[in-house]
């Protein structure tokens, strides 16, 4: 220990004595370590961190933990749950000591006593069963949480619990907050408790502000009755395992509970076709660890984040190579010191330890600065990845996890870049080094010195990062250039929440017409239509269809996607009708039900036939006796997805809709800049009825950009880190070539004295740099092609062997090598033979 402290003291002194070297090395390492720590911090926050609740390791998620903010109407699901199905699971399982259900109501208007209704009053509301807080073992900081009694009768307990951050934000930590009233969707609720600071709910990427008891569902979700319907799947479930029960046992038990329920009372409550479908599909209820709660982003971004981790890992390796090269160059100047230490009795191991202490110290300094960089980096990363408003949901402050990670990275990095110089140091010839005094052995002395080998490795690693970045950038470009089948630059999409505004379902047809007319009057608007699912909205519908004369070979063959669209839909969106006609004004509620099908559907069900005039039915209890006549075939278009093959789709007339809960997405085609129409359209809706909350009003381009946020993120960040890798490789190559040239000044002078021309010397040095790069490329090209296999699922319309991406990566590498090699080469070519020959 004592000798270690001595090494440490000496290390500090050595670094202090070489401030330029220390600064460059620390900065290089800080960039590498900082990038790694930043990405790790986000990964930790999104993927690894446990919920701040009692014994999170006992928690289990039933269903899909990523389906936050989702609601599905139709055949009951088991990745999300209806309230009746939740009750079945809660009451019949033998594996959980308690089970709760919760759902997000999204960001909605909340008014508190004495406040005006304005935009800043939006809060994230979560609805939860009465045992939510007791199961999570989260007591109230002040007041109380929900009680079991509040889970019994509908609408009888208008209470709410608020989060610490909401208490701080909205009530300035006023201890008299208990008993105050807040209005959630205009419904008054009394605040009975505040949760402790640090607890923001069971969804890790969406901090809840307010919790409402499940029994208040219809009061806070105006116009929607979800507690009794088995067809609305909207709840997420967490259970706390009984002692000694494993995850596998829990899964077996829940699946048997579900199967029994399907054939029992729960099944009997379902429509016959739904029950049949569920029994036929025989899907399994998924059960996974719930220790880190629900998260959509974890599912969506885990792959990009892990990819990013690999990329920054490589950048750190490249940074390590640079510092190793710096240390090697410096080690030459320290040969004498090392030789003396060996001569006076230092054992090789002790010397390695001393040199590694110095390099680890350097890495730790880089780590300290890196943690600062990481704080900025993680903040930018979260903002960029998940949107500006999401920062509050993530805990990205330095914590033991992050510090332990950084310390481990520093230790590893220090050993990694310190090992080569340390091993080289103990191998020096002591006698001749002492005899020659301080004259150093050049780091690039041999034809293939360690320094050069390291630079070649650096080139290979950089090529790997650059190639990956190239593939991801080209994927993004391919996706952005996808032909939608219609002109998408001048479209605006709006989703007005009509039910939330208080309209009843039977009122909708009489509301929609005037609302669309009002929007048609907005200057710049060319046409307006309404459809159930809109474009790129994240909402989709699919149904089983029965086509006379067609027998499906497998279940999936009966499925087609569908949408309810108004009469101008095809014209407004710009979808060409290639056969027959579009949905028109003649298709009204009591006329023959009609549909336009897309090419994919026509080819699949009616190969080589004219589908116009043919009929099919939706395989649903309510619609089996309602044949739909095909009146047109539309071109296949991209409306909800860019990557997958365009699915079979049919469009039904909005005016003939039989759905009870049909809300709409409004499509607006504009003549000029669509963004200018967005605000005007919002204003029109507000004027039409101030209670209508426009859930979303965006241009289609914005929606496409949102859809591509994951691809954009990985493309931008991998390009950034590719650039960083390139820069580091450039510095590394420059350093080694400069050092090599300075060690050969005499030789160069002699060559020039013997008649070598300026360009001969220039080429001699440049050639050496290019040979290094060529060797790096020879290693890097197959490695990059091999590594690209890991990216295959993220690529679009691109092979993992994409020659263009590789050509770009190689060209960039060669360009950088030429620059990095040219400067020392030019310096060499300017050597004055007379001065050089007097050198040494």
Partner 1 sequence: MIQLRNIERSYKTGPGVTYVLRRINLDINAGDFITIMGPSGAGKSTLLSILGMLDDAWTGEYYLLDHPIHKLDRKKRSELNRQYIGFVFQSYHLLDNLTVYENLDVPLSYRNIGRSQRASMVAEVLDRFQIVGKKDLYPSQLSGGQQQLVGVARAVVGNPKLILADEPTGNLHSSQAKEIMELFKRLNQEGTTIVQVTHSEANAAFGNRTIQLFDGWIANESRSQEAQPVGR
268 in contact with partner 1 (CB under 8 A)? no
Give, in degrees to the nearest 5, the angle at Cα 358 between 357 and 364.
85
Cβ closer to partner 1: 434 or 771? 434
754 in contact with partner 1 (CB under 8 A)? no
The 10 Å Cβ neighbour count of residue 418 is 24
Q: Which stretch binds partner 1 (CB under 8 A): 378-386, 388-396, 434-442, 674-682?
A: 434-442
* C-beta of residue 447 within 8 angstroms of C-beta of residue 771: no
Cβ closer to partner 1: 103 or 426? 426
Number of residues near partner 1 (by CB under 8 A): 26
Cβ closer to partner 1: 338 or 791? 338
The 10 Å Cβ neighbour count of residue 208 is 26
3 in contact with partner 1 (CB under 8 A)? yes
423 in contact with partner 1 (CB under 8 A)? no
3-state secondary structure of 617: strand
13 in contact with partner 1 (CB under 8 A)? yes
Instruction: Report, in Å, the least distance between residue 348 CB and partner 1.
Output: 7
Instruction: Report, in Å, the least distance between residue 419 CB and partner 1.
Output: 19
What is the helix, strand, coil percentage profile of the chain, to 5? 55, 15, 30
Q: Pick from 19, 114, 243, 345: which binds partner 1 (CB under 8 A)?
A: 345
Instruction: Report, in Å, the least distance between residue 359 CB and partner 1.
Output: 17
Give, in degrees to the nearest 5, the angle at Cα 423 between 417 and 426.
140
- Which residue, 452, 417, 390, is CA-closest to 318? 417
Cβ closer to partner 1: 176 or 427? 427
Cβ closer to partner 1: 372 or 431? 431
Q: How far is CA 189 from CA 154, 242, 371, in A?
A: 14, 34, 44
Structure tokens at 353: 């330890």
Q: Which stretch binds partner 1 (CB under 8 A): 234-242, 340-348, 368-376, 646-654?
A: 340-348
3-state secondary structure of 691: coil
Q: Which stretch binds partner 1 (CB under 8 A): 3-11, 450-458, 529-537, 613-621?
A: 3-11
Mark residues 307-336: x for contact with partner 1 by CB under 8 A, - for none.
-----------------------------x
- How far, in Å, CA of 588 to CA of 653, rounded? 8
Site for partner 1 in 347-376 (CB under 8 A): 347-348, 350
Give residues with Cβ within 8 angstroms of 746, minimum separation 6.
836, 837, 839, 840
437 in contact with partner 1 (CB under 8 A)? yes
b/e code 468-486 from CB counts within 10 Å (16+ = b)? bbbbbbbbbebbeebebbb
Mark residues 80-99: x for contact with partner 1 by CB under 8 A, - for none.
--------------------
Q: Pick from 116, 344, 553, 608: which binds partner 1 (CB under 8 A)?
A: 344
Structure tokens at 815: 């360009």
695 in contact with partner 1 (CB under 8 A)? no
Instruction: Report, in Å, the least distance between residue 12 CB and partner 1.
Output: 11
430 in contact with partner 1 (CB under 8 A)? yes
Query: Three-class SS string for 769-796?
Result: HHHHHHHHHHHHHHHHHHHHHHHHHHCC
Cβ closer to partner 1: 90 or 424? 424
DSSP for 69-85? T--EESS--SSSB-HHH
The 10 Å Cβ neighbour count of residue 204 is 25
Cβ closer to partner 1: 4 or 376? 4
Instruction: Report, in Å, the least distance between residue 350 CB and partner 1.
Output: 6
Cβ closer to partner 1: 429 or 585? 429
Q: Pick from 14, 123, 177, 670: which binds partner 1 (CB under 8 A)?
A: 14
- How far, in Å, CA of 585 to CA of 606, rounded? 27
341 in contact with partner 1 (CB under 8 A)? yes
Structure tokens at 143: 């007041």
* C-beta of residue 225 within 8 angstroms of C-beta of residue 254: no
The DSSP element (H or E) to which 486 belongs, if any, is: none
Burial of 327 (0-12, 13-18, 19+ CB in 10 A): buried
Q: Which stretch binds partner 1 (CB under 8 A): 337-345, 359-367, 463-471, 485-493?
A: 337-345
637 in contact with partner 1 (CB under 8 A)? no
Mark residues 380-419: x for contact with partner 1 by CB under 8 A, - for none.
----------------------------------------
3-state secondary structure of 235: strand
17 in contact with partner 1 (CB under 8 A)? yes
Pairing of strands 232-233, 72-73: antiparallel
435 in contact with partner 1 (CB under 8 A)? yes
Cβ closer to partner 1: 70 or 433? 433
Q: Which stretch binds partner 1 (CB under 8 A): 114-122, 178-186, 426-434, 797-805?
A: 426-434
- Which residue, 210, 396, 206, 204, is CA-closest to 290? 204
Q: Which stretch binds partner 1 (CB under 8 A): 11-19, 309-317, 368-376, 727-735?
A: 11-19
DSSP for 184-244? ETTEEEEEEEEPPTT---SBTTS--SEEEEGGGHHHHSTT---SS-TTEE-BEEEEEEPTT
424 in contact with partner 1 (CB under 8 A)? no
**Contact footprint for partner 1 (CB under 8 A):** 2-3, 6, 10, 13-14, 17, 336-337, 339-348, 350, 429-431, 434-435, 437
């Amino acid at each position: 220990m004592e000798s270690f402290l001595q090494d440490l003291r000496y290390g500090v002194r050595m670094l202090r004595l070489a401030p330029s070297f220390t600064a460059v090395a620390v900065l290089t390492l800080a960039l590498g370590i900082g990038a790694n720590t930043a990405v790790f911090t986000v990964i930790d926050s999104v993927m690894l961190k446990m919920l701040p609740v009692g014994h999170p390791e006992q928690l289990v998620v039933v269903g899909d933990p990523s389906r936050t903010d989702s609601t599905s109407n139709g055949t009951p699901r088991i990745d999300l749950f209806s309230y009746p199905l939740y009750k079945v699971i809660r009451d019949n399982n033998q594996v959980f000591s308690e089970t709760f259900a919760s759902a997000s109501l999204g960001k909605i208007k909340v008014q508190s006593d004495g406040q005006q209704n304005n935009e800043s009053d939006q809060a994230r509301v979560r609805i939860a069963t009465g045992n939510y807080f007791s199961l999570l073992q989260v007591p109230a900081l002040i007041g109380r949480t929900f009680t079991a009694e509040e889970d019994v009768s509908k609408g009888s307990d208008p209470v709410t619990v608020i989060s610490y951050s909401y208490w701080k934000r909205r009530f300035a930590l006023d201890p008299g907050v208990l008993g105050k009233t807040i209005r959630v969707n205009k419904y008054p609720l009394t605040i009975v408790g505040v949760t402790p600071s640090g607890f923001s709910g069971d969804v890790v990427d969406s901090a809840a502000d307010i919790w409402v008891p499940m029994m208040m569902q219809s009061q806070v979700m105006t116009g929607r009755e979800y507690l009794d319907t088995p067809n609305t799947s909207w709840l997420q479930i967490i259970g706390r395992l009984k002692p000694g029960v494993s995850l596998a046992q829990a899964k077996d038990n829940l699946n048997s509970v579900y199967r029994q329920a399907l054939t029992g009372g729960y099944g009997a409550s379902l429509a016959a076709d739904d029950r049949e479908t569920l029994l036929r599909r025989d899907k399994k209820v998924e059960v996974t660890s719930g220790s880190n709660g629900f998260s959509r982003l974890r599912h969506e971004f885990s792959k990009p984040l892990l990819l990013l981790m690999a990329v920054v890992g490589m950048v750190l390796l490249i940074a390590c190579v640079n510092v190793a090269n710096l240390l090697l160059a410096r080690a030459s100047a320290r040969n004498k010191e090392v030789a003396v230490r060996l001569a006076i009795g230092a054992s090789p191991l002790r010397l390695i330890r001393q040199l590694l202490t110095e390099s680890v110290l350097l890495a730790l300094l880089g780590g300290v600065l890196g943690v600062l960089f990481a704080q900025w980096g993680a903040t930018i990363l979260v903002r960029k990845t998940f949107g500006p408003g999401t920062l509050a949901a993530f805990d990205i402050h330095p914590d033991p996890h992050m510090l332990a990670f950084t310390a481990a990275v520093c230790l590893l990095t220090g050993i990694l870049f310190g090992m080569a110089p340390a091993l080289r140091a103990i191998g020096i010839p002591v006698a001749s080094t002492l005899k020659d005094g301080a004259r150093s052995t050049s780091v690039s002395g041999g034809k293939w010195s360690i320094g050069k080998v390291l630079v070649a490795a650096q080139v290979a690693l950089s090529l790997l990062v650059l190639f990956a970045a190239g593939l991801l950038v080209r994927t993004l470009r391919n996706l952005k250039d996808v032909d939608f089948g219609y002109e998408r630059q001048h479209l605006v999409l709006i989703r007005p929440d009509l039910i939330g505004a208080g309209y009843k379902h039977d009122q909708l047809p009489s509301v929609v017409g005037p609302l669309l007319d009002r929007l048609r009057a907005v200057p710049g608007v060319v046409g307006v239509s309404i459809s159930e699912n809109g474009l790129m909205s994240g909402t989709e519908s699919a149904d089983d269809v029965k086509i006379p004369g067609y027998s499906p070979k497998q279940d999936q063959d009966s499925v087609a996607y569908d949408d309810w669209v108004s009469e101008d839909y095809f014209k407004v969106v710009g979808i060409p009708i290639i056969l027959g006609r579009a949905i028109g004004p003649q298709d009204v509620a009591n006329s023959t039900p009609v549909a336009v099908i897309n090419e994919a559907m026509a080819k699949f069900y009616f190969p080589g036939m004219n589908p116009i005039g043919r009929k099919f039915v939706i395989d649903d209890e309510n619609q089996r006796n309602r044949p739909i006549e095909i009146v047109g075939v539309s071109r296949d278009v991209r409306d909800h997805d860019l990557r997958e093959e365009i699915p079979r789709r049919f469009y039904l007339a909005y005016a003939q809709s039989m759905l009870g809960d049909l809300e709409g997405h409004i499509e607006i085609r504009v003549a000029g800049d669509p963004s200018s129409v967005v605000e005007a359209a919002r204003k029109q809706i507000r004027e039409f009825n101030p209670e209508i909350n426009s859930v979303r009003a965006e241009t289609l381009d914005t929606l496409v950009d949102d859809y591509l946020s994951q691809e954009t993120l990985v493309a931008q960040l991998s390009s950034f880190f590719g650039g960083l890798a390139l820069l580091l490789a450039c510095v590394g190559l420059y350093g080694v070539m400069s050092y090599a040239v300075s060690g050969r000044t005499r030789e160069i002078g002699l060559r020039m004295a013997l008649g070598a021309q300026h360009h001969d010397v220039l080429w001699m040095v440049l050639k050496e740099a290019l040979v290094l790069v060529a060797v790096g490329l020879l290693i890097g090209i197959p490695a990059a092609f091999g590594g690209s296999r890991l990216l295959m699922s993220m690529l679009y319309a691109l092979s993992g062997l994409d020659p263009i991406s590789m050509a770009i990566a190689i060209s960039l590498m060669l360009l950088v090598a030429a620059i990095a090699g040219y400067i020392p080469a030019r310096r060499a070519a300017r050597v004055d033979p007379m001065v050089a020959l007097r050198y040494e």
